[in-house]
Amino acid sequence: MKLNFNREPKQGTKTRLLLWVLGSAGLGLAVLAGCTNSTPFNSGYPGPYPVLNTVPNKNLVCNFNGGTTQINPNLMEMNNPPSYNLRVGGAVTAVDNFGAALSFSVTQAVLGGPSSSSPYAYRVSGTLADLGNAQYPAVELEVPMEGGTNLYDGSFFSGVNFYLKIAGDDTTTKRDFSIPVFQTQGLPQGGCLGGNAGGCFDNFTFDLTGGTGGQWKAFSIPFTSLQQAYAGVVTQPTASFAGQNLQQMLWLQWEESRNNTAGTSTFDYWLADVSFY
């Protein structure tokens, strides 16, 4: 557990408590072993790279099978010829924004996934306090693309798939999936200036507030359905998740909070089988 002083929080000026959950050094082979059964990616995309199939898998981001939290090193990266593989490896990360969690538990590769072919999941649980003081504390589960500091070009794909289970005892009032990009994220990872006052951290978002009924639910989200959450920074040349924004992803993010409503909530959510399509 360590303090991360490099990323400005979405609201306020407090630092964020970052829990890096890293797989062991020997888990790289487990990633490759667990990445061979997904559907092939769109081989009809025009490009100079070879037409590839499911081995190695180029769609899969991470599925936690084999007990790993590592991101698939063979994930398609348009900005990395001639291999078109991910340039920078990394692992799924749990973040306690502002250190607001009264209790915080991370189970990085737990049995109880959505199916027999995907038996593992990543679980984040605990309790979260919000003082209602415009600090917007939140718990986040992040998948850092290209390490979360370099820019990932996702323009080969048109959307994201994942399984999510928000447990029945989860009482948070705001839940969403979002993709921070260079233009929306503040310094130092992003290029948005002025912090909250400058409209930074208004990421492209998909609302998950309705939950999943305490069961596993499959989501297939087109990039075109992601919208900025409030009147924040206006991205150029288009205020949509396309073009330049699609080519400048920083990480994938699942977030839960009380959205500045004073009180305490239980959070308990599980993630599995993240892939692009």
CA 178/CA 149 separation, integer angstroms: 16
Residues 20 and 93: beta-carbon distance below 8 Å? yes
Confidence category of residue 191, pLDDT binned at 50, 70, 90: confident
pTM, 2 dp: 0.79
Q: How many other C-beta atoms are found inside a 10 Å radius of the C-beta of residue 162?
A: 22
Per-residue burial over 237-256, b = 16 or more CB atoms within 10 Å of its CB, e = otherwise: eeeebbeebbbbbbbbbbbb
pLDDT in tens, 144-155: 999 888 899 999
Residue 9: partners with Cβ closer than 8 Å, 6 or more residues away: 15, 16, 97, 98, 135, 136, 201
Model pLDDT for residues 33-92, shown as the tens digit of each residue: 333 333 333 433 333 334 444 568 899 999 998 889 999 999 999 989 999 999 998 999
pLDDT at 198: 64
Contact 7, 16 (CB under 8 A): yes
Beta strands in 131-262 (DSSP E): 138-144, 159-166, 174-179, 204-207, 216-222, 227-228, 251-257
Q: How far apart are CA 141 and CA 68, in angstroms?
A: 15
pLDDT tens column, 88-125? 989 999 988 777 678 888 888 889 999 998 999 999 99
Round to whole Å and give the CA distance between 146 and 25: 18
Higher-pLDDT residue of 7 and 201 is 201
Q: Examine the pLDDT at 5 and tell me if it is beyond 70.
A: no
Q: Which residue has the higher pLDDT, 206 or 12?
A: 206
Who has greater pLDDT, 29 or 235? 235
Residue 232 has a pLDDT of 67
Asked if pLDDT for residue 2 goes beyond 80, the answer is no
- What integer pLDDT is reported at residue 197 of this predicted model? 58
Highest mean pLDDT among 48-57, 93-102, 209-218, 234-243: 209-218
Rounded Cα distance between 153 and 170, Å, is 34
Q: Is the pLDDT of residue 156 over 90?
A: yes
* pLDDT interval class at 268 (50, 70, 90): very high
Longest C-alpha distance within the chain, in Å?
A: 54
User: Which residue ranges make up each domain of the chain?
Assistant: 1-133, 158-247
Rounded percentage of the chain residues whose pLDDT exceeds 70: 75
- Least confident segment among 158-167, 184-193, 227-236, 244-253: 184-193
